[in-house]
Every structure is written in structure tokens, then in C-alpha cells.
Chains A and B, each alone.
Chain A
């Protein structure tokens, strides 16, 4: 394939030229080509990345609220000794649902949502790669989430903890459907995450704006790329684990059944081989957000770009070598444990590098602006460093043997999950919501919500460190007054109330901004990323003419004659594909139109995986249905104007 070199044709074209201009006509045609069909059916057939990303964000936030409400119920139960607000069965269901919701239905998907909504804008392309796969991943996620919460209403919600250790979750000790529901929830979320990850990798590698070579890629995009790779290599472990568990439960295999040669530790290895990378799958995107916000509000180039990229990649790699630190108490050979201690400790180095680079950027700011998003970043640094340090403590085998499965661990992981992921996320939402909705959120309420959340968070979770050291195990529905844990627990519960107020302030601010917020304009923060080069909210085709890039901070480094890309056809959904490393234009790719096929495929998937809870025959049924839909999906589209092949004489 010889391809013609793109020829830059200097020509004067201004965006705001009179309407007779061909530009206007082109935009009108783009509008026509990229808009989604009208009506409800049109809504269901959406394949545009901003729309799907927005749905992801909203859905995940609703699950966050649900998970948070469950947490409040737990906090009420634990607020005083021997409380009988929840019975043990309900308590077990609730902490399982809380953990599973937060991990599988909130933290991972919301990062996917950010990625789907923002990455294509940041790299200057019209839509994410594989738009139908994106839509599919959203539907599957939604169905999985609805499945567990509907089951919750029918008292079929899981109750074996978010890592469902066998044999407790096996057929003998968890009869009934509860754990099957959990296993299928996992199946849905893993399919959705894998689909989204493949899409992210391809989008990032193949669709960057001309000039955005890998070493100029925004750190946010880097973090999403590393995250996507981690998903690809980590999620299969939970695919395998949950399938084996489902088979043990449904067709009486013996993988985890010690009396037939199975081994319950196999589950733990498989689960944590996924489970540990999972926490970095949640955390790394957050670091990408932090890098972006720190840069934008310091008004200087990111300090240590290369170091930050290397830290991301290193974390991604090392993250696969730590899983045994969740199993120290299982009594594995000591030498092996020391290895995992060393690896767990080593991962603090890249995290440290990231913290130091951010501090350096802030230190040398041209003018640091303490807007709401930046406050969340500062809060993040405070909380995450604390949580990371308790992580380092946990990595020490002897200390872990004492505090493993106590509230000390609960404190650690809320510090890193909420401090390390939710705070950056909230900051990022304050920062990017104007881009997605076109309206600013209130700074005053924003700052208030930050301080309430910061205070509430520490009040809730700091006492848990002490509770753990004083011997309070996790996952207990009650404790005796004589244990002396009552006061600290009460404190934590009060903190939980404060947290709720903070979240409500955020939600209120958002709803208020939808109606009353000031119009955002294209670039309200005067920031550097390409996403700010288009309108807020962006048009369905993102950019009329694709931007080009000549540095790491495109909008800050733009020259007056920065070229734009023209020549993509506007009568069909064309995106520009560029080369993997240097992002030179390579070819034009035609993307599919809006279609219901992803929804159908998601429903077929659901038939298989929900049905299998009741009968193994659902799997073949689902396969056949999915096969039928896939024929429609992959049946090659025929465009009249392409070269046809003939039979040779």
C-alpha cells in the first residue's frame, strides 16, 4: 500500500468566516452525519463517545450513592456496641453489596466513563475506536448493576464479602442463589471493562491527532492507557475465578473442594492476581487526573513528564507482583512472602516519584490557583500519602499478620480508595463537567463541599486505624461493650454523616449548575488540553477540523499558524487513523452509524449469564442468541464506492 504523503496546503481559513463559506456547509453536513437518530430508539442506539461516557458517569455515580447509603447503614449498626439495627444476615449482605458496588459498579466504571468521555477529545479525534463496542460495554455494565440491585430487592443479594472466599461461597456453605448473583455481577463488569479497555488501547494508539507522538501524549491519556493494559492482563484472572466458582456451584466441579482434591487457596491466588491490579486500575486513572489538574492550575508545564510516565508504567508492571500480600495470613512459605513484601514496598517508589513531581510542579507554579478542583488535589495528596504509608506498613509480614482483616486494613483502603481515587475524581468532575455540560459549577459550594468532605473523611476513617490496632476485626456485625470500641466507632459514624452532607453538596451543586451555572465557554480554565479546543459541550463530531499538536501542552504552545486537518469526508463517519508511535496520518477509517446491535448483544449476553443462575442451558441459549446478533454486527458493510473484487478469469 503506497500512501500519498499528506501535503500541507497553507491557505487562509478562519473559523468565523461568513456563512457562505464552505466551512459552514461542511459543519452542517458533519452535524447531519454524526447526530444520533431522534427519539427513544435513537437514544438506545447511541454510539457517540461523549454520550456513552456521560451515561457511564451518571450511572456510576448513582451506584456510588447507593453504595454510600449502604455504608451509612453499616455505620449506624456499628455506631454503638451490641446494636440491633441490622441482623447479622443483613449486615453481611450490606457490606458485601457495599464493597462490590463500590469496586465493580462505581470505581472501575467511573474511571472507564472518564476515559470514554475524555480521551478522544484529548487526543483530538472524532470518536472513540469501536463505538459499538463502547455502547455494548455500557449496556452490559448497566445490566449487571441492575441485576444485583433487583436481586437485592428479592433478598438474593450476595453475602460472602467482595472477595467471596471459598469454601464459604461454595455450594456447601452458601446454598441458594446469592453467590451466583455475585459471580454473574463479576462476569458482567469484567466483560464491560475488557471491552472498554480494548477500545481505549486502540483509540490511544491509532487515533491521536497528527503530531501527538507518544512522548507528547497527555498524562491523563497515558494513565488510561496503562490502566487499559492492566485490565487486559488482570481481568482474565477474575473471569477464570468466577467461572470456576460458578461451575463448582452449578455443575458440581471440584476446583475449590478440598475433599475431592480441589484447593481453596487457588481461589485466593486467582482473585488477588486480579484484585491487586484492580486497585491500581482504580488508582492510576486518578493520578492522570491529578497530573492534569496540577498542571492546569499551576500554569506551567508538568514537571517531570517522563518520570511520571515511567512511574505509571512501573506501577503497572509491579502491580502484578504483589497479590500475595493479601494472603500473608494463609501461611505460605516465608521466602515467598519476603519477595512479596519487597515488591509491595518497591511500589512505593513510583508512587513517591509521582507525589514529588506534583509537589515540584506546584512549588514552581507560575501562579497557583486554588480553585475547587485544585483543593481536591491538595486533599488527595494529604490523604493518599497517609493511606500509602499504611499500605507500606501492611506490606510488612509481621505487622500484617497482626492487623490483617481488622479495621486497620479498612482504614488503609478507604484512605487510598477515597483519598487516592474519589478525591481526584471529584476534583476532575469539577474541572471537566463544564466541558461536558457547558455550565460552570459553583465555586463557593464547591469549596464548601471540599472542606466538608475532607473533614468528614478523616473523621470517619482515621479512628479505624486505632480500632484495628485495638483488635477490632472487620466484617463483624456487632461487638461487646467491654471491648472498648464504642467511642471510636461512634466518631466514625458521625464522620459518615458529614461525608453524606459533602456528597449531597456536590450533587446539589451539579444539579444547580445544570440550570443556573454560568456558561462555560470553550476553555474556562485556560487549560492546555485539546479537549478545551472545542465547544462545551462538544459537538457530536468533536472537531470540525481536527487539531494538530506540536508539544505536550497543545493549547499553551499553539502558534498562530498551527495547521488543522482537513479532507475527512463529512458525509460519512470518518475518523483519521494515525501511526502508533509518531501519530503521522495513516488512513481514514469509516465508523459505523448508530445502531441497536450493541443493545441486542448485551441482552443476549444477559440471557446467557443471568439465565445460567437458574439453568446451565442458558449458556448455549445465550451463545446462540449472541451468535445471531454477532452475524449482524460483523456482517461487512457495503459501500458502493469501494473497489469490488471479482473472480479472476
Chain B
């Protein structure tokens, strides 16, 4: 004799931490945060071994990256609006709005990447110039790869939203994509502080 628990009425779409995929994405973010944290640790470790840091004359220029940081931070706003749209209590999510804000966010992301390319081309030293160059280029490089793939993901979702068909469960993917984008934004804010507090204008 066995009693039964019938689960056929349970939903098959959820948002947030009940969803396994949320754990997957958060796991990924934790791993990458750990990578960034260790790189920052390595940065300070190497810095501790040098008397002059950065090497004289090799301060990275600040203006462009500062503007670029603002662009990146700004991109979190439209992304947030996309997320809010997936989660409306009063009505069903509006696909058009989601498209619009995601488009804005993606454009800002592209702008950021272009700015990043110029930042790197302005750098007065290379990764093989000295150990400062090595670690700074690696910080930039790691973040650039993340930004690049994440913008790519945004494009992918943009394509999905435009092409359809969009189902309710895809909203979870949209939200997790946003989570990852926030991570890309926030990690740069930290790395930016690490790199530029040590250099040029901010140091003095």
C-alpha cells in the first residue's frame, strides 16, 4: 500500500533561486569572481615587491577609461528595466519594451567595447614591458573577454526577443543573462578601482 504525492500541478517555470539554472549561473559567477579576486591578489602581491608602481612614465591614461566606466555602469540601468519588465505583477511582460531596453543595453555594451579597444591601444606599455604591464594587461584582458562574451549573449537574447517565439520560461534566461551582465559591470568597477587608484591622477 503506497500513498502518492501528485506533483503534476506544479509549475514548470520559475524565476530566481528555485530554478536550477540560477544555481548554475551563480556558480559560474562565483568561480569567475574567485578568478578576479586571485588576480587582484596577485596584483597586490607583485606590487608589494616593487618600489615604484607603476614604473615611471607608465601610468595608464585615465580619461577614456573613466568615461568608459560610466558607459558600462549606465548600461546596467536599461538591463534593470528589462528585468523589471519580466517581473510585472500588474500585467504580462511587454515584449516590445523588453526589446527596446535590451537594445539600449547592448548598444552601450558595444560602445564600451569600442572604448575598451581604444583604451588598450592608448596604453603606453605592453604586457611584456615589465611585470606591471603583465598584470594590468591580464586584468584588462580577462575582463575584456568577459565583456565580449556577455555582449554576445545580449545580442543572442535580442535576436530571440525579435525573432520569437518567446515563451514564459525564456524570461528566466533573460533574467539570468541580466545577472551575468551585472557581474560584468560590477567586476569592472572593482578592477578599475584597483588599477587606477595606483596610477596617475588618483594616486596624488
Would you call B57 an interface residue if the criterion is a C-beta within 8 Å of the partner chain's C-beta atoms? no
Would you call B203 an interface residue if the criterion is a C-beta within 8 Å of the partner chain's C-beta atoms? no
- Encoded as 1 (CB less than 8 Å from any A CB) or 0, chain B from 13 to 38 comes to 11101111001100110111011001
Does A645 contact B93, Cβ atoms closer than 8 Å?
yes
Does B10 contact A3, Cβ atoms closer than 8 Å?
yes
Q: How many angstroms between the C-alpha atoms of A10 and B1 in the bound complex?
A: 9
Does A585 contact B7, Cβ atoms closer than 8 Å?
yes
Q: Jot down 23 A-B pairs with beta carbons below 8 A, ordered by A.
A: A6-B10, A9-B3, A9-B5, A14-B2, A202-B27, A206-B20, A236-B34, A236-B35, A253-B128, A255-B131, A257-B131, A263-B45, A266-B46, A562-B3, A565-B6, A567-B5, A568-B7, A579-B18, A588-B10, A642-B12, A645-B167, A645-B170, A648-B96
Residues of B within 8 A of A198 (CB): 23-24, 27-28, 31
Would you call B185 an interface residue if the criterion is a C-beta within 8 Å of the partner chain's C-beta atoms? no
- A residues 246-276 near B (Cβ < 8 Å) are 247, 251-255, 257, 260-263, 266, 269-270, 273
Q: Which residue of A lies closest to B25 (CB)?
A: A198
Q: Which residue of A lies closest to B86 (CB)?
A: A645
- A residues 193-220 near B (Cβ < 8 Å) are 194, 197-198, 201-202, 205-207, 210
Q: Which residue of A lies closest to B50 (CB)?
A: A261
Would you call A74 an interface residue if the criterion is a C-beta within 8 Å of the partner chain's C-beta atoms? no
Would you call A574 an interface residue if the criterion is a C-beta within 8 Å of the partner chain's C-beta atoms? yes
- List 10 tightest A-B contacts by C-beta distance, closest first: A567-B8, A261-B131, A253-B134, A198-B27, A236-B34, A648-B94, A202-B23, A252-B128, A10-B3, A563-B3
Does B10 contact A627, Cβ atoms closer than 8 Å?
no
* Distance to closest chain A CB from B86 (angstroms): 9
Does B20 contact A129, Cβ atoms closer than 8 Å?
yes
Q: Which residue of B lies closest to A575 (CB)?
A: B20
Q: Which residue of B lies closest to A204 (CB)?
A: B23
- Encoded as 1 (CB less than 8 Å from any A CB) or 0, chain B from 76 to 111 comes to 000000000000000111111100000000000000
Does A586 contact B168, Cβ atoms closer than 8 Å?
no
Q: How many angstroms between the C-alpha atoms of A12 and B14 in the bound complex?
A: 32
Q: How many angstroms between the C-alpha atoms of A236 and B39 in the bound complex?
A: 10
Does B20 contact A563, Cβ atoms closer than 8 Å?
no
Residues of B within 8 A of A577 (CB): 14, 18-20
Q: How many angstroms between the C-alpha atoms of A563 and B24 in the bound complex?
A: 30
Residues of B within 8 A of A580 (CB): 17
Residues of A within 8 A of B19 (CB): 577, 587, 589
20 more contacts with CB within 8 A, not counting A636-B167, A639-B167, are: A4-B10, A9-B3, A10-B3, A129-B23, A197-B27, A251-B127, A254-B128, A255-B46, A255-B135, A260-B130, A566-B6, A567-B10, A587-B11, A587-B13, A587-B19, A635-B160, A642-B13, A643-B168, A645-B92, A648-B92
Would you call A187 an interface residue if the criterion is a C-beta within 8 Å of the partner chain's C-beta atoms? no
Would you call B138 an interface residue if the criterion is a C-beta within 8 Å of the partner chain's C-beta atoms? yes
Residues of B within 8 A of A587 (CB): 10-14, 18-19
Would you call A1 an interface residue if the criterion is a C-beta within 8 Å of the partner chain's C-beta atoms? yes
* Distance to closest chain A CB from B96 (angstroms): 5
Q: How many angstroms between the C-alpha atoms of A233 and B138 in the bound complex?
A: 20
Residues of A within 8 A of B3 (CB): 8-11, 561-564
- Encoded as 1 (CB less than 8 Å from any B CB) or 0, chain A from 540 to 582 comes to 0000010010000000000011111111110000101101100
- B residues 157-177 near A (Cβ < 8 Å) are 160, 164-171, 173
Q: Which residue of A lies closest to B16 (CB)?
A: A1
Residues of B within 8 A of A635 (CB): 156, 160
Does A261 contact B132, Cβ atoms closer than 8 Å?
yes
> Which of B34, B46, B165 is the one whose CB lies under 8 Å from A638?
B165
Which of A237-245, A366-374, A451-459, A473-481 contacts the other chain? A237-245
Would you call B152 an interface residue if the criterion is a C-beta within 8 Å of the partner chain's C-beta atoms? yes
Does B2 contact A561, Cβ atoms closer than 8 Å?
yes
> Which of B11, B42, B170 is the one whose CB lies under 8 Å from A636?
B170
Q: How many angstroms between the C-alpha atoms of A243 and B135 in the bound complex?
A: 12
Instruction: Tell whether A566 pairs with B24 under 8 Å between CB atoms, given A587-B12, A627-B149, A645-B167.
Output: no
Would you call B49 an interface residue if the criterion is a C-beta within 8 Å of the partner chain's C-beta atoms? yes
Does A263 contact B49, Cβ atoms closer than 8 Å?
yes
Would you call A393 an interface residue if the criterion is a C-beta within 8 Å of the partner chain's C-beta atoms? no
- Encoded as 1 (CB less than 8 Å from any A CB) or 0, chain B from 123 to 167 comes to 000011011111101100000010001001100100010001111
Q: Which residue of A lies closest to B96 (CB)?
A: A647
Does B20 contact A3, Cβ atoms closer than 8 Å?
no
Does A3 contact B38, Cβ atoms closer than 8 Å?
no
Q: Which residue of B lies closest to A631 (CB)?
A: B156
- A residues 1-60 near B (Cβ < 8 Å) are 1, 3-4, 6-14
Q: Which residue of B lies closest to A233 (CB)?
A: B34
Q: Which residue of B lies closest to A648 (CB)?
A: B94
* Distance to closest chain A CB from B26 (angstroms): 9
Would you call A173 an interface residue if the criterion is a C-beta within 8 Å of the partner chain's C-beta atoms? no
> Which of A6, A207, A627, A646 is the one whose CB lies under 8 Å from B95?
A646
Q: How many angstroms between the C-alpha atoms of A587 and B6 in the bound complex?
A: 12
